[in-house]
Structure 1
Amino acid sequence: MGMNYFVGAYLNAQLTGIEKAQVNRVKLFTDAGWPARCLYTKYNPKIHENATKFGLQGRCFTLYDYFQEATDDEVVAKDWVAYWQTVCQFKLDFVDIAPDIRIHDDQGRYVAYAHFATPTYEQLVYVNYFDSDHQKVKRDIYDSRGFLSQTKFLKEHQRVQAEIFFNRRGQVKIEKTYQVVNEQTVLKRIVLKDFQQRDWFFNAEEEFQTFFFNTLYEKGDLYFCDKNGYIGQAMANTADEVKVCAVFHSTHARQQTDVLGSPLKSSYRVPLSQPEKFDRFVVSTALQKQDLMARFDQLPPIDVIPVGYIQPTTVNLQQKQPHRIIGVARFSPEKQVLHQIQVVERLVAEFPDVELHLFGFGSRPEEQKLRDYVRTHGLEHHVFFRGFVTDLSAEYAQASLQMVTSNEEGFSLATLEALSFAVPVISYDIRYGPTELIEDGVNGNLVARDSVDSLYQKVRSYLQDPHLQKMYMENSLRLAKRYTEAATKDKWQALLSAMAGSRESKIG
């Protein structure tokens, strides 16, 4: 069996739904004994640090790592402070408000500025270099594993002129050159140095990505394209023998009220306009498959596989705080988190102990709007911004309800996670996940989309009735069991067997 690659653009220190789905899938494949790696196309000197945080050590690398001959997790340490002071005879000026150092050479000239990850000065992040006019002319970027990974050369206004990428031995592996066009810095050429005994030239990142996918690929491998908006075209352009599955993480049509006629989202334009270039589509709900087939002919086979699965958990209903509500969503317009706050605002008079705990991150202006609303409406004792938390088990254990107020969801991992901890969900009736995960009046409620009033009425009825709460909680646990790891594994097993070509070569 070949390698299964889950391909995205980046892995940050905070996970969005897509990266969360990738982390879940890697764990599922690893448990099943199927080889799996996460693959990312953007340059990211912190990727191995982030991978460790989410348990992906040794199972994750970028296009740049590959060509820089550094796909491993090995960390090298160097005492930079001692080196600069004793070997270089530099004078160091320690900045008091940050783990940064101003560097003066042995003649007292200010030559560089170094930034470290922590106040212990162990992990060097970057060093800026200055010319004799104190203009910044160069930046060295260090990988979180400790080696010099990239040098940027800067010209006036600190515009990037060129970027050089190194392997661990300091040899140049990639060169990127830029030009200013209409006041914008534009990539003009990528040179891949001394790869397979020659140099290779590319005019754009997309072309470079396709070359990478073709080069990495070996017979039996599968690519699962998780970020179709970023890398869909590079994947579509791969050689014919390269097997690619497009994974849909979100709705594909812009207007959920008109899924058959409204324009497509840019994220899914490539697979849906060039379906012949993909071997398979994976969606997370039966309704999305139905919508796709009603609108398009000539699609590749479509598998319905939920993006998440539940882990067996023991839940003590006695621990639940009856008026504690949880909200798990990015702070972005389509999640409409303000609606949740407005519902709580209307509940306060009747339920003085009602609390809404929001777990999420996102655009600063969006979060600021929500915080301002909470402040101006005196809700500081009822609405709490808790930030991004990697493991919400302890929070779900205490919560009695979750609200979902998005205008659309691809699957809604947060809904499944809540139900698996006996937290019923009251959601807008939206495509796709909530309609499939929530049975109205059984483990929660579906209310008319964007109707804050209906949402408030249902939440109020639920909080008023301890018997209803207990029934919904028990049903949540029961119905979430449809999404066990074993059930999800069987669905992936079927897809992998089909892709392997014959039923006889069943993977087990």
Structure 2
Amino acid sequence: ILNVTNIDPDKISIIPHFIKPHQSTDNVEQLDRFVFIGRIAEEKQINHILYAYHNFLKYGFTTKLSIYGRDEFGQQQKVEQLIEELELQDNVEINEFTNNPLLEFQKSKASLLTSSFEGFGLSVMESINVGCPVISYDVRYGPSEIIDHGKNGYLVEQDNISELTKYMKLIIEQPLQNVHTKPELTFESAKQNYKQLFDSIEYSY
């Protein structure tokens, strides 16, 4: 907005997206796996996940990788071909789109995001909201606003596959404890932000 208008920056205020708390299910089976949930599309760069995961396994880990999503423009076939080339057939499973992503996140050690670009990243919020940390490329515009590096996940330099491997290794060796949504992204914070906005413009509600 600032780039294309002459609006005073002091007149612009940003209210972050928010998420309501989710009551985790205590009897969910915990799996030794990473998970990706999203479109199987070129911009998601799932090949980066596979290359990093291939390197991760060289350290002797047995953690699996599960991919959930709908195919777009034949990308799933390319993903499957790369799985075969890297000989990961016994370690990686591809599943159809899930209607219950929160459950799949809750089962997992961490979720992964290697997109070349993102919107706000609802899947990142959902993952953290059920206690599943996120390892994500630090791309514009959402991950850095949602992930508190070292507390509820890790931000990785964009397209840095070796660094992605490093944090996959770290999160298995030293699991993050008490993974929570950042306070400013909670429903209660959003209500307060909107109240302050309406009060500032003297809106009657």
TM-score (norm: length of structure 2): 0.84
**1:337 pairs with 2:39:** no
On the 8 A contact 2:70/2:96 being kept in 1, the answer is yes
**Could you report, residue by residue, the CA deviation over 1:410-446 in whole angstroms, capped at 9, with x for unpaired residues?**
2111111111111111111222211111122222211
SS in 2 for 1:505: coil
**What's the offset of the Cα at 1:349?**
3.7
CA distance in 2, matches of 1:350, 1:371: 23
CA distance in 2, matches of 1:308, 1:504: 22
**1:306 pairs with 2:8:** no
Over 3 Å counting, the alpha-carbon distance change for 1:504 and 1:450 in structure 2 is closer
**1:485 pairs with 2:193:** no
**What's the offset of the Cα at 1:302?**
4.4
**1:381 pairs with 2:90:** yes
1:41 match: none
Alignment RMSD: 2.7
Amino acid at match of 1:486: E
CA distance in 1, matches of 2:184, 2:23: 14
Bigger Rg, which one: 1
For structure 2, which runs of at least 5 residues remain unmatched after alignment?
A: none
Over 3 Å counting, the alpha-carbon distance change for 1:329 and 1:303 in structure 2 is farther
Over 3 Å counting, the alpha-carbon distance change for 1:366 and 1:464 in structure 2 is same
On the 8 A contact 1:347/1:354 being kept in 2, the answer is no
**What's the offset of the Cα at 1:299?**
4.7
1:188 match: none
Amino acid at match of 1:411: F
Selected match of 1:435 from 144, 157, 162? 144
**Could you report, residue by residue, the CA deviation over 1:321-355 in whole angstroms, capped at 9, with x for unpaired residues?**
3x311112222222111111112222224345321
**Larger % of strand: which?**
1
Over 3 Å counting, the alpha-carbon distance change for 1:353 and 1:316 in structure 2 is farther
**1:405 pairs with 2:104:** no
SS in 1 for 2:74: helix
CA distance in 1, matches of 2:143, 2:201: 35
CA distance in 1, matches of 2:76, 2:12: 37
SS in 2 for 1:455: helix
1:503 match: 202
Amino acid at match of 1:505: S
1:392 match: 101
On the 8 A contact 1:327/1:404 being kept in 2, the answer is yes
Selected match of 1:364 from 59, 69, 73? 73
**Could you report, residue by residue, the CA deviation over 1:32-88 in whole angstroms, capped at 9, with x for unpaired residues?**
xxxxxxxxxxxxxxxxxxxxxxxxxxxxxxxxxxxxxxxxxxxxxxxxxxxxxxxxx
SS in 1 for 2:111: strand
On the 8 A contact 1:315/1:422 being kept in 2, the answer is no
% of aligned pairs identical?
Answer: 23
1:297 match: 5
CA distance in 1, matches of 2:155, 2:12: 27
On the 8 A contact 2:102/2:127 being kept in 1, the answer is no
On the 8 A contact 1:358/1:384 being kept in 2, the answer is yes
2:126 match: 417
On the 8 A contact 1:427/1:447 being kept in 2, the answer is yes
CA distance in 2, matches of 1:418, 1:358: 14
Pairing 1:451-466 to 2, within 5 Å after superposition: 451-465=160-174
SS in 1 for 2:84: helix
On the 8 A contact 1:344/1:354 being kept in 2, the answer is no
- Give the paired residue count: 203
For structure 1, which runs of at least 5 residues remain unmatched after alignment?
A: 1-291
TM-score (norm: length of structure 1): 0.37
Pairing 1:244-283 to 2, within 5 Å after superposition: none
CA distance in 2, matches of 1:332, 1:447: 20
CA distance in 2, matches of 1:299, 1:385: 48
CA distance in 1, matches of 2:73, 2:5: 41
Runs (4+) of structure 1 exceeding 6 A deviation are none
SS in 2 for 1:330: coil
SS in 1 for 2:126: helix
Structure with the greater relative contact order (CA < 8 A, sep ≥ 6): 1 or 2? Answer: 2
Over 3 Å counting, the alpha-carbon distance change for 1:302 and 1:365 in structure 2 is farther
**What's the offset of the Cα at 1:504?**
4.8
CA distance in 2, matches of 1:368, 1:395: 23
**What's the offset of the Cα at 1:481?**
4.5
Amino acid at match of 2:145: E
**Could you report, residue by residue, the CA deviation over 1:140-186 in whole angstroms, capped at 9, with x for unpaired residues?**
xxxxxxxxxxxxxxxxxxxxxxxxxxxxxxxxxxxxxxxxxxxxxxx
CA distance in 2, matches of 1:381, 1:427: 24
